[in-house]
Amino acid sequence: MSSDASQPAPPARVEGDSGRHALPAEILARVSREALQGEGLDAVLRRIVDCLVQRLPVALASIILLDDEGSSFVSEVWAGELELDQPQLVPAWPVSVGAAGRCARTGVAQLITDVDVDPDYVPGNLAVRAEYLVPIRHRTRLHGVLNIESTHADFFTADVCAVFDAIADQVAGAIHLARIAGELEAANRKLEQLSMSDGLTGIANRRCFDQRLAREWARATREDLPLALLLVDADNFKALNDALGHLHGDECLRTLARLCSETVDGDRDLLARYGGEELVVLLPGRDLRGARRLAERLRARVVAVALPHPDSAVARHVTVSIGVAALAPSQLRTPDQLILAADHALYAAKARGKNRVAGVARSSDTMRAPRRPRPLA
């Protein structure tokens, strides 16, 4: 036995017309690294196809993704030295068309050694002579097709095809991980949204209000803008629950929340449940006059809806009292002063007979907590 026979065989290489070459293991490792670098699926796929055309002697590499039903290609990311003569996907490509569609339909890799004689080949550039298409599959799900095109008819040897088969497996794993990450991100956004919403009324909750107030206070301080607040409280709400039951009271709160939501500017104002039967409306950029006008429209709208209230001391229907406060935030004040001022104004509205709006333009640094009991009557 010769000394050469005792040495391990060198790893197979992928070589091509441009002189570029790479070890298959190196390419797979590089694809894996690139798959972890992108933010979002499109970025991941872009980095992978860029890696393939930079590291391998291929004229064009593309990843074509299927819709959830597997009936059409819906997106494509490609890279390469060739200019495409026509768009690859406009706007979708059914799997009944093209060699890529044949690959998706059969679930089997397609080697085309002469594109001129293949009945399904859709020309993208006349310089292409051969094409290799590999299903991108993770377990039982077919995500799409890896498409490699070459200007040389003899490029796709068995060893070369084996490399691209392995790359397709790597791409499938990358797509799966990217989609899982996207689903987790969407789930986290949903959980965050739920954590900021009131379960009864569907509007923002106290936690959301506190965070938004802190942000708007800081912004108003920087930009020297006014900030206004409404505290909206249903009059004689305990008597309503006692007379018609808590389910009716809950429905009343949902209706009040809807009326408030329809009255305020949803793009810049924040409506939240403050606690019990109290709702709060944060009004960035509003002065006292504008905030009072909005509060009066809301009070009148609640009266117009005339929700039944058989035991109200004010009317035979549900009414609200609204405390309004507005001030110019500064580093010498705190957000609590705005809340305290609106709280005092609400107390004043209650003391004057309820079903009315009361307001103050600023809060005193020495203002104390209101003397009214909780919950409000």
Percent over 90 (pLDDT), the chain: 63
Mind listing the pLDDT tens digit for each residue in 78-104?
Answer: 999 887 665 555 567 899 999 999 999
pLDDT value at residue 362:
57
Give yes or no for residue 4 having a pLDDT over 60: no
Beta bridge partners, 280, equal: 231, 272
DSSP secondary-structure letter at 317? B
Q: Report the alpha-carbon distance of residue 31 to residue 48 in Å, rounded.
A: 6
Q: Report the alpha-carbon distance of residue 145 to residue 136 in Å, rounded.
A: 5
Query: Which among 94, 136, 132 has a CA at the least distance from the CA of 113?
Result: 132
Mind listing the pLDDT tens digit for each residue in 284-303?
Answer: 999 999 999 999 999 999 99
Judged by average pLDDT, the poorest of 175-189, 198-212, 225-239, 244-258 is 175-189
Range 233-245 average pLDDT: 94
- Measured at the CA of 166, the angle between CA 164 and CA 167, to 5 degrees, comes to 60
Q: Report the alpha-carbon distance of residue 325 to residue 206 in Å, rounded.
A: 18
The kind and range of the H/E element at 65 are strand 60-66
Helix, strand, coil shares of the chain, percent, nearest 5, are: 40, 20, 35
Backbone angles phi, psi at 303, to 5 degrees: -60, -40
**pTM for this model (two decimals):** 0.57
Length of the chain: 377
* Structure tokens that stand for 363 in this block: 């809060």
Going by their DSSP bridges, the two strands 130-138 and 110-112 should be labelled as: antiparallel
Q: Report the alpha-carbon distance of residue 15 to residue 56 in Å, rounded.
A: 8
